[in-house]
Amino acid sequence: MQLTDNNVLKEKQIHSPERITYLRVHNASCASCVNKIEGALKGVDGVQEATMNLAQSTVSVTGGAPVDNLINAIKSVGYNAEGITDTSDQSVLDEKEKADEAYYQRLMREMWIALSLGVPLMIYSLVIGEMTVTTTTERVVWLTIGLLTFGVMFFAGKHFYVGAWKSFINHSANMDTLIALGTGTAWIYSMFVVFFPSLVPEMARHVYFEATAMIIGLINLGLALEIKARGRTSEAIKRLIGLQPKTARVVRNGEDVDIAIEDVQLGDLVRVRPGEKISVDGVVLEGQTAVDESMLTGEPMPVEKAIGDEVVAGTVNKSGSILFRATRVGKDTALAQIIEMVKRAQNSKPPIGRLADLISAYFVPIVMIIAVVSALAWLNFGPDPRIAFAIVSATTVLIIACPCALGLATPMSVMVGVGKAAEAGVLIRNGEALQTASKITAMVLDKTGTITLGQPAVTDIILANENNKSSVLRLAASLEAGSEHPLALSIIESAKERGLDFGTVEQFRAIAGHGVEGIVEGQSLLFGNERLMQEKGIDIDAYVEKAQEMAAQAQTPMYFAVDGKLAAIIAVSDPIKSDSIEAIKRLQKNGVRVVMLTGDNRATAQAVAKKVGITEYFAEVLPDQKSDKIAELQGQGEIVGMTGDGINDAPALALANVGFAIGTGTDVAIESADITLMRGSLHGLADAIAVSKATLSNIKQNLLGAFIYNVAGVPVAAGLLYPFLGLLLSPVIAGAAMAFSSLTVVTNANRLRLFNAKNH
């Protein structure tokens, strides 16, 4: 029976993509409630399936029944319920796009309404003649046009006036205030001229209805185009959100069932076939495959996955079919966290934007004051008709000023820049990290796991007594069994490869930065560096030269002593990442001072540094001394970036001006650094710096453009050039300039989308 039900369910879910409605049920607390509620829902017309999750007090209903009917059915059996809004990133994004599209259409409609009056009036004024009121017929004609203009103001510009009024009563002022005041002043003055021409000097009997209609039309057009341009600035986040699959195929009662992604529970077994997206994070239980993680890490080569390996949501299964256990679902998946982090960073502001914010806050009232001062100046000192000049200059000042260009300058560039970095597998925490990264002058690289793969292996064993290599390795591995240090792991791994069994370690003690000690099978063991041996009084003189030779070949020699006597030197080598040399060269080419930091001995450090082209390094640095080295560089006036894999690096990462956490694959330390590199390659550092520099330069262009536009535009609009050049701007020109100034800022920010960090 169960099997049949499941088959039916599977059939429906796979082949009939019916609407699923989610409801939250209140005061249902027992298993019998579940049957009652499910039964009541199944009785509603249009419901095909109803499944309640008692733990979450939610019910999912498959079918096309209206939500109200479902709620009433639940109420009829004595419980309360409400609809749950789908708050997934995709649905929020879809709704935002729908709302933006509707707003765009509205603005375009309003633009046509306004321009259909404004353009003929403009042509009339340019081609046929002055728009003056001298005869009674003209008064009637202009009154009619004045009323038509009022219609335009109502149908196409109502949002400006309502916004301005609402802001005014809330003691604030915004762009609506300026547009409403500018167009309102022009219209009221024109109507005054129409009604009371005798109260206005003859030369000033001019109407400005074309200005009102044109300004409303042009600004609506500018806003509409800005919406489209803004949509493009969030393409990167859209792409990330689009990676999230909508369904998952889970194994329930031995059957594969397609369910909504929101219904996947921790521990669910999820099956993924070749070519499909991985739906949630998990650990592979069956099968092996290659997974394309490039969309998250920027790493183009597919990554091999076998039993025990982690897979993450949003990546694509390329070759084999796998079964995995869900370990992170919903908002906890790496992809969801990355989306959250990118969204947060896109909305944060770098310090460079603070001045613009401060100016924006006072901008509109200042422009209003300038408009009043300008009108007074024309009235007091201007040529005739003074009143007309005063009205034109005040209107033009109000219309040309564009607080939006200033306000948009920083956030639009940050939006595109942070998104661009995310596409390259670089997660930037916030605007401040972005700005500081653009100024980095020195980059400190931890050796192990950053320059090298962090997977050391035993490469040589030099015996110092009659022991054989296997017995030395067996004792060393037994001693290290409790340690998680990468070097210890290499010893253990090597012993396992030789099939050696391990003894039990007693009195184990790790001596930070030196090594370890303990007792195995009654023998007192010491394993560590030269310093440890010297401190413990072990004679190593005869082998120091040999150890130095090993170090010069970029191996790390470690001394192993048994019962107070040197037994062997075990050399371990950690391969350098294939692209470290090239990436370091790229950093240096861009003027960054690259410094290596390692706890390893000086000779090994020197050998590795030489191999990768680094001339400066700090060797034999104890974990707690790493931050001292950062401070030392900062003391020399450097803006320091520190890159580490998160092990023992936290204080140094925190102290550095910018801390970079380097991940391998999608195993990222998202919360631990200013900038997280999703892939192990050091090219991510150069990419991060290049994107930051490009973004900051884009912000500067935007800010400079917006400042110059306003600083130059407002005085010109006020008529500052009139005494010298006889130039006074038309309010229509001001309207066009204003509408397109913010569009220019958004378009310039969009240029960043074409930036390719790899070329820098």
By the criterion CB under 8 A, which residues form the site for another protein?
85, 92, 95-96, 99-100, 102-103, 106, 159, 162-168, 170-176, 223, 226-227, 230, 343-344, 347-349, 357, 360-362, 364-365, 368-369, 372-373, 375-376, 379-380, 403-404, 406-408, 411, 430
Contact 214, 104 (CB under 8 A): no
| Other CB atoms within 10 Å distance of the CB of residue 294 | 16
Between 54 and 379, name the residue whose CB sits nearer to another protein.
379
CB of 174 to another protein, least distance (A): 4
Token representation of residue 87: 């708050």
3-class SS at 61? Answer: strand
Token representation of residue 421: 């970095």
CB of 537 to another protein, least distance (A): 54
DSSP for 345-377, written as a single string: HHT---GGGHHHHHHHHHHHHHHHHHHHHHHHH
Spatial distance between the Cα atoms of 257 and 253, rounded to a whole number of angstroms:
9
Spatial distance between the Cα atoms of 379 and 600, rounded to a whole number of angstroms:
80
| Residues whose CB falls within 8 Å of the CB of residue 672, separated by 6 or more in sequence, listed in order | 646, 650, 653, 659, 661
Closest CA to 66 of 9, 14, 34, 19: 19
CB of 405 to another protein, least distance (A): 9
Q: Which helix (H) or strand (E) holds 255?
A: strand 255-260
Spatial distance between the Cα atoms of 186 and 398, rounded to a whole number of angstroms:
11
Catalytic residue among 89, 176, 268, 446: 446
Between 16 and 154, name the residue whose CB sits nearer to another protein.
154
Between 290 and 379, name the residue whose CB sits nearer to another protein.
379
Residue 281: active-site member = no
Q: What are phi and psi of 233, to 5 degrees?
A: -70, -20
Between 125 and 174, name the residue whose CB sits nearer to another protein.
174
Between 95 and 616, name the residue whose CB sits nearer to another protein.
95
Between 48 and 337, name the residue whose CB sits nearer to another protein.
337
Between 11 and 340, name the residue whose CB sits nearer to another protein.
340
**Which DSSP category does 385 fall into?**
S
CB of 754 to another protein, least distance (A): 23
Give ∠ CA 593-597-601 in degrees, rounded to 5. Answer: 135
CB of 58 to another protein, least distance (A): 18
- Cα 36 vs. chain centroid, distance in angstroms? 46
| Residues whose CB falls within 8 Å of the CB of residue 270, separated by 6 or more in sequence, listed in order | 248, 249, 250, 251, 264, 278, 279, 280, 282, 323, 324, 325, 326
CB of 259 to another protein, least distance (A): 25
CB of 367 to another protein, least distance (A): 10
CB of 700 to another protein, least distance (A): 18
Q: What are phi and psi of 193, to 5 degrees?
A: -65, -40
Spatial distance between the Cα atoms of 675 and 653, rounded to a whole number of angstroms:
10
CB of 150 to another protein, least distance (A): 20
Spatial distance between the Cα atoms of 5 and 737, rounded to a whole number of angstroms:
66
Between 15 and 171, name the residue whose CB sits nearer to another protein.
171
Spatial distance between the Cα atoms of 312 and 310, rounded to a whole number of angstroms:
7
Q: What are phi and psi of 252, to 5 degrees?
A: -125, 125
CB of 79 to another protein, least distance (A): 23
Between 357 and 616, name the residue whose CB sits nearer to another protein.
357
List, in sequence order, the alpha helices (H) in 613-669.
626-635, 650-655
| Other CB atoms within 10 Å distance of the CB of residue 565 | 11
Token representation of residue 584: 């370091």
Between 167 and 553, name the residue whose CB sits nearer to another protein.
167
Distances (CA, A) of 747 to 226, 232, 402, 695, 704: 8, 9, 16, 14, 15
3-class SS at 151? Answer: helix
Contact 89, 314 (CB under 8 A): no
Q: Which helix (H) or strand (E) holds 548?
A: helix 541-552
Spatial distance between the Cα atoms of 608 and 554, rounded to a whole number of angstroms:
5
| Other CB atoms within 10 Å distance of the CB of residue 27 | 10
Between 497 and 671, name the residue whose CB sits nearer to another protein.
671
CB of 167 to another protein, least distance (A): 5
Q: What b/e string do you get for 224-256 counting C-beta neighbours within 10 Å, with b at 16 or more?
A: bbbeebbbebbbbbbebbebbbebbbbeeeeeb
* Residue at token pair 């005041």: 181
* Residue at token pair 């407002």: 714
Distances (CA, A) of 311 to 131, 305, 315: 72, 8, 8
CB of 559 to another protein, least distance (A): 49
**Which DSSP category does 502 fall into?**
-
Token representation of residue 203: 């030369």
CB of 54 to another protein, least distance (A): 25
| Residues whose CB falls within 8 Å of the CB of residue 385, separated by 6 or more in sequence, listed in order | 201, 202, 203, 204, 206
Between 418 and 476, name the residue whose CB sits nearer to another protein.
418
Between 180 and 316, name the residue whose CB sits nearer to another protein.
180
Residues 737-740: contacts with CB under 8 Å, at least 24 apart:
737/400, 737/402, 737/709, 737/713, 738/218, 738/219, 738/222, 738/399, 738/400, 738/401, 738/402, 739/218, 739/219, 739/221, 739/222, 739/223, 740/222
Residues known to be catalytic: 446
